[in-house]
């Protein structure tokens, strides 16, 4: 992609630098192999880096370097796959980087990225209040915590099986006890799953955003998990975070036609609910959608286009989009990067990380424990039915009980019938057969 008016911009930046109006930012990077690089915005470099385990190289101009030491993102403008584009390279993935030729280019100024530093113990705002939180009851019957904090819940595993709507409803109910204005943090780590579950989540999160601040803290949010994340008021990535790839399938085939149009419309709606441009969201659903953007060098304002006219590429028409922490931050789809709860507290403007109670962790652990027990027990139960037909009624009743306790694992993972009525009929047939034998 060609940068528009590049020669004019290079001339202007050079003239300003001569007059002392613009000064380059000097950086020093240390790489895992012991090598290092020191230089400025606008330096031309040759860089060798690893991407998905494959060593790659490119030459170009340093546009900017963002992030905290050890986790910087190096934005290089150069030729990629036969066209000019800007690539963000995670510094720990760089094998070597050397300055080559003369400095030049058009470095772009951006607004500060909301990455975090470790809390400064000398900063009075960051002092940890070691006193235990006290919960009291207000006159209206809601509860009040003496410390500002969050309702935190891990949300992990396949959507609809381990990561469910039920647990989201439960943590919301807990936050509601303390009145409106609470902070709910969902730590999302999911490869996606059932769209039907996403429909229930859609209605619940639309409702809860009217009274609470809902945060997605993303390690992996694929497909239905990306759909869930996009509802949230704020999205923070872990450094290794990924979000997107929301292709919907009917059986083994990706949907098309009217079904695809409806899914694109739903994804667009969800992006707008979360205050995000729907153009990028549509690229997560189908490879036919495209997105690029420009960024105002003074204000950092991002303008997103549904084609490749922008200076920075997000998604072409050959791939379904999965955002990483670097491009999610740069295009404005994520609000910051946090690898720890302390990091996240800084970004949420909290004096310290404090969980109002451990209800979210207990909700998560309780369901994960039930899922594990179900996965362990059902194969053994089926084996016992084969070995010991005299206990069939007792064992089949236990199986019915598991339908109540862990329906998603039985039906969506183990392939048992969605309706347990055949099991009930089997119990009745066994009873009748035994009664006939006694007569």
**What pLDDT sits at residue 427?**
93
Averaged over successive runs of 10 residues, the pLDDT of the chain (439 residues) comes to 36 36 60 77 85 73 74 75 67 84 36 48 54 74 83 97 96 95 97 89 93 96 95 95 90 84 91 90 94 90 94 92 94 94 95 95 97 96 92 94 95 92 93 85
**What pLDDT sits at residue 82?**
54
CB within 8 Å of 334: residues ≥ 6 apart:
218, 235, 236, 237, 241, 243, 323, 325, 328
CA 132 to mean position of chain CA atoms: 32
Q: For strand 249-250 and strand 234-244, is the pairing parallel, antiparallel, or unpaired?
A: unpaired
**What pLDDT sits at residue 379?**
94
**What pLDDT sits at residue 416?**
92
**What pLDDT sits at residue 298?**
84
**What pLDDT sits at residue 398?**
95
Answering whether pTM is above 0.95, one says: no
**What pLDDT sits at residue 15?**
35
């Amino acid at each position: 992609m060609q940068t528009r008016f590049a020669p004019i911009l290079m001339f202007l930046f050079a003239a300003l630098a001569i007059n002392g109006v613009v000064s380059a930012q000097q950086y020093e990077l240390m790489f895992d192999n012991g090598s290092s690089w020191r230089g400025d915005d606008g330096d031309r470099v040759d860089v060798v880096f690893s991407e998905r385990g494959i060593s790659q190289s490119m030459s170009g101009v340093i546009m900017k370097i963002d992030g905290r030491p050890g986790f910087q993102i190096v934005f290089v403008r150069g030729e990629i796959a036969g066209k000019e584009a800007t690539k963000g390279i995670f510094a720990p993935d760089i094998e070597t980087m050397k300055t080559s030729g003369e400095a030049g280019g058009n470095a772009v100024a951006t607004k500060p990225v909301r990455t975090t530093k470790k809390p400064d113990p000398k900063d009075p705002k960051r002092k940890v209040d070691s006193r235990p939180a006290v919960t009291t009851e207000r006159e209206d019957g809601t509860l009040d915590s003496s410390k500002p904090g969050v309702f935190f819940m891990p949300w992990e595993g396949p959507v609809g099986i381990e990561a469910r709507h039920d647990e989201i409803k439960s943590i919301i109910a807990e936050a509601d006890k303390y009145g409106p204005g609470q902070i709910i943090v969902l730590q999302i780590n999911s490869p996606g799953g059932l769209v039907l579950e996403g429909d229930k989540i859609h209605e619940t999160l639309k409702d809860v955003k009217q009274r609470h601040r809902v945060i997605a803290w993303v390690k992996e949010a694929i497909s239905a998990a990306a759909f869930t994340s996009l509802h949230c008021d704020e999205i923070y990535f872990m450094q290794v975070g990924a979000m997107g790839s929301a292709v919907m399938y009917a059986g083994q085939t990706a949907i098309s036609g009217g079904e695809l149009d409806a899914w694109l419309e739903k994804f667009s709606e969800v992006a707008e609910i979360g205050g995000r441009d729907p153009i990028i969201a549509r690229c997560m659903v189908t490879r036919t959608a495209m997105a690029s953007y420009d960024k105002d060098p003074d204000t950092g304002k991002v303008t997103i286009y549904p084609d490749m006219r922008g200076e920075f590429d997000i998604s072409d028409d050959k791939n379904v989009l999965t955002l990483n922490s670097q491009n999610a931050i740069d295009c404005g789809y994520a609000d910051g990067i946090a690898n720890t709860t302390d990091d996240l507290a800084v970004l949420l403007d909290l004096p310290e990380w404090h969980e109002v109670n451990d209800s979210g962790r207990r909700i998560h652990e309780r369901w994960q424990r039930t899922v594990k027990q179900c996965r362990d027990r059902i194969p053994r139960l089926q084996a016992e039915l084969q070995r010991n037909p005299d206990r069939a009624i007792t064992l089949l009743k236990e199986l019915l009980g598991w339908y109540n306790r862990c329906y998603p694992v039985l039906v969506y993972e183990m392939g048992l019938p969605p309706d347990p009525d055949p099991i009930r009929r089997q119990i009745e047939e066994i009873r009748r057969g035994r009664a006939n034998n006694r007569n």
